[in-house]
A and B are shown apart, each in its own frame.
Chain A
Amino acid sequence: MSVVAEKTPQAPPAPLAREQSPWRRFAAEFAESRLALFGLAMLVVIVAIAVLAPWISPQNPYDLAQLDVMDSKLPPGEHSATTGKPYWLGTDDQGRDMLSGIFYGLRISLVVGVTSTVIALAIGLALGLAAAYFGGRVDAIIMRIADIQLSFPAILIALVLLAVLGQGVDKIIVSLVTVQWAYYARTVRSAALVERQKEYIEAARVLALSRPRIVLRHLLPNCLPPLIVVATVQVAHAIQLEAALSFLGLGLPITEPSIGLLISNGFQYLLSGKYWISFYPGVALLLTIVAINLVADQLRDVLNPRLKK
């Protein structure tokens, strides 16, 4: 969630110089698209729901004491047989409130998606910068591995890893990181190769600054814009991939149901017409991904120097 928080520059920390602050200019350009603002608003609501799930859910869906088998598979809007409380989105086979299940599921899906993206970003950034800065053999080895990996679809690699590692939050994060790092490495490398030729790097060299200082303080910040765009898109991909893997029964264990697992759980009741158990978690997943993609599309336009007016 930290990534999302960083990308909501609606309130710049200290707008000292009017119109000059890059944050303010960035926010103004971002706000030019109403659709993107809508996506951002949606994302803020979704993240808030995920963070606040334990306090805003009607029930704790994993506290067995709160579940009532009498209420199992109730359609949306039906009231509990014992407490009389309404189930807005119905209940699943164990009498669990779907709305609460979705709130908690979003929490797990977002944590898995964002954590794996941040770790993959860090690894890809380090390897991509190393490849660009050292060049030669280091570059060839890192980029060849990335190329081979990217020639196989992410889902296949993630499936194999999960088949080997088994289930669990840590394992799914490991496989999502493995799948994603190469995208960042490629992006950083190509950005760094362009930036390296520019005059400010030459100026830094002339000033005899140390290598780590040039890489970290001069090269790195200028490689970030394309990386931010890729990272935003990749969070959506990671969430989608995790959901698909959990749907196949290879992702998260049943004790930590993400959105994908909720959908999978409802699948067996679909043919008997009890659609709500998988339908509504799917809607939540779809809204999350659309929101992220809308924000990512606008970020791409704002951060792309070729489209600058």
Chain B
Amino acid sequence: MLAFAIRRLGQSLFVLVVMSFLVFLGVYAIGNPIELLVNPQADAVERARATAALGLDRPMLEQYGVFLSKAAHGDLGRSFVFNVPAIQLILQKLPATLELAFAAMVIAIAIGIPLGLAAGLRPNSYIGRTIMAGSILGFSLPSFWVGLVLIMVFSVQLGWLPPNGRGETVLLLGVPVSFLTWDGLRHLAMPALNLALFKLSLLVRLTRASTREAVLQDYVKFARAKGLSPRRVIGVHVLKNIMIPIVTVIGLELGSVIAFAIITESIFAWPGSGKLLIDSINQLDRPVIVAYLLVIVTIFIAINFVVDVLYSVLDPRVRLGAAAAH
């Protein structure tokens, strides 16, 4: 088990280093940020001085070397636009993104799993078919357009919910959060629902498929034969067994929710890290782009690592399979 975890950790670190190089190399190729930063009237001397001050005149590999050694100390460069450390900028915005992502996940789980279970237990009933048709629609709806329709209906037509921003926040363990105030909740509702829609459809399909397989298994038949109540058969025997794939997918999808939050944050002007990324790309704020991507890649690799290890703890076949493959 420990050997598996260590080997997996080594792989993760390798991916991280490769990604950091690719990201740096790629971002280096975007236009010259000096054009944006200095006064257009500045003369060549002034420009050269600014270029040197930012270290942009040195060879690319040297810049990467400097970047790596600084990154190892937690310094990912200063934002060209805001002139504050890029990592600080990202970490300030990250809690808003994480709050949005978790809220979306909670909505997707709270609605998706019961619906999937209902559809899986009675696949051919009217309800089961309606749920499946709804999930196809959920997959097909372009999520950014759904966001616009939500704003159109709930903000413009009905005037119930605010179209943008985070609303009133309170500090929870030193981090500002929206979900503890009424105003914050009203701001959170639409973006979270918008972000949840796709994952909700995914969870419905996954739960339905797993349930359909599970109810045919011998242990379920046996539980029924023992005379257990249907509630207990479903709540304990079925649910427990379909949870392994579902928990895995939820874990893996958490990362993708954070990535998709980029779109949702842009629509609802949610002040999170995704909106910061889009703004930084438009302003060619290179250190912030690199810092964002490295933070996101690290989160991803961490999630994948934890899910892999957890899965091998839950299901010994995975661990043995991985060992046999090497």
Contact = CB atoms under 8 A, between A and B. Distances in A.
Interface of A: 148, 151-153, 155-156, 159-161, 163-164, 166, 236, 240, 243-244, 247-250, 260, 263, 267, 270-271, 273, 275, 278-279, 282, 285-286, 289-290, 293-294, 297
Q: Which of A160, A250, A271 gathers most chain B CB within 10 Å?
A: A160
26 contacts: A148-B15, A151-B304, A152-B259, A153-B255, A156-B259, A159-B277, A159-B281, A160-B26, A163-B27, A164-B29, A166-B30, A236-B140, A243-B145, A244-B144, A249-B282, A263-B148, A267-B148, A270-B148, A270-B152, A271-B155, A279-B152, A285-B142, A286-B142, A293-B139, A293-B140, A297-B136
Contacts of A294: 136
Contact of B300 (A151, A270, A297): A151
Contacts of B139: 293
B145 A248 contact: no
A155 B296 CA distance: 13
Interface size class for chain B? 35 or more
Interface of B: 15, 23, 26-27, 29-30, 136-137, 139-145, 148-149, 151-152, 155-156, 163, 255-256, 259-260, 262-263, 266-267, 277-278, 281-282, 289, 293, 296-297, 300, 304
Given A160-B293, A250-B278, 11 more contacts: A164-B26, A164-B27, A164-B30, A243-B144, A243-B145, A270-B152, A270-B156, A273-B156, A275-B152, A275-B156, A286-B141
Contact of A271 (B143, B163, B256, B260): B163
Main secondary structure of the interface of B (DSSP, over half): helix
Main secondary structure of the interface of A (DSSP, over half): helix
B142 A163 contact: no
B151 A244 contact: no
Contacts of A286: 140-142, 145
Contacts of A249: 278, 282
A139 to B, nearest CB: 12
Contacts of A290: 136-137, 140
B144 A263 contact: yes
Contacts of B143: 244
